Amino acid sequence: MKSYHKELWFEVPTRRALINITSDVEECLRESGIKEGLLLCNAMHITASVFINDDESGLHHDYEVWLEKLAPHAPTSQYRHNGYEDNADAHLKRQIMGREVTVAITNGNLHFGTWEQIFYGEFDGKRKKRVLVKIIGE
């Protein structure tokens, strides 16, 4: 069995963003040479997320509105964590959206369902963060 890993780095200039990283992950798969196996993709920071969904702007807007209702940024005084930083809401948003995804690899391709894409969700940006891509298989 072969193993491959790579870290993808992102520095989002805004506090929050959803970035389609499918092509970056597919490039990792090509580099690995693995044709059958599993791919793990996970955010390596506690205020960022990796998730799978549709690349549709209306849905992305709905995520932004929904997440802000569930874990509003302001007022920052509502959170105990915010004594050190003002990012407690980002931790909660990450918890909701998830840390990682696993995708099957079949015939050298990511084995997605219809419309599925991989996204990096940033909830406390303006600094460099990484995403791990780990692939195992043959």
Find the CATH number of the domain harbouring 46.
2.60.120.460
Q: Which neighbouring-strand residues pair with 50?
A: 120
| Within-domain flag for 80 | no
| Within-domain flag for 126 | yes
Report which of 12, 36, 2 is spatially closest to residue 121, judged by C-alpha positions: 12
Provide the pLDDT for residue 45. 97
pTM of the model as a whole = 0.95
Residue-number span of the structural domain to which 121 is assigned = 2-55+95-137
Q: How many helices (H) and strands (E) does the chain have?
A: 3, 8
From CA 128, how far away is CA 118, in angstroms rounded? 19
| Within-domain flag for 26 | yes
| Within-domain flag for 23 | yes
Provide the pLDDT for residue 131. 98
Residue-averaged pLDDT of the chain: 97
Domain tally, the chain = 1
Map tokens 């407690």 to a residue: 88
**Nearest 5°: phi and psi at 98?**
100, 160
Report which of 3, 7, 5 is spatially closest to residue 120, judged by C-alpha positions: 7
Asked whether the beta carbons of 105 and 30 are under 8 A apart, the reply is no
Map tokens 């090509």 to a residue: 30
Provide the pLDDT for residue 49. 98
| Within-domain flag for 81 | no
Low-confidence ranges of the chain (pLDDT < 50): none
| Within-domain flag for 110 | yes
| Within-domain flag for 61 | no
**Nearest 5°: phi and psi at 59?**
-65, -40
Provide the pLDDT for residue 35. 98
| Within-domain flag for 120 | yes
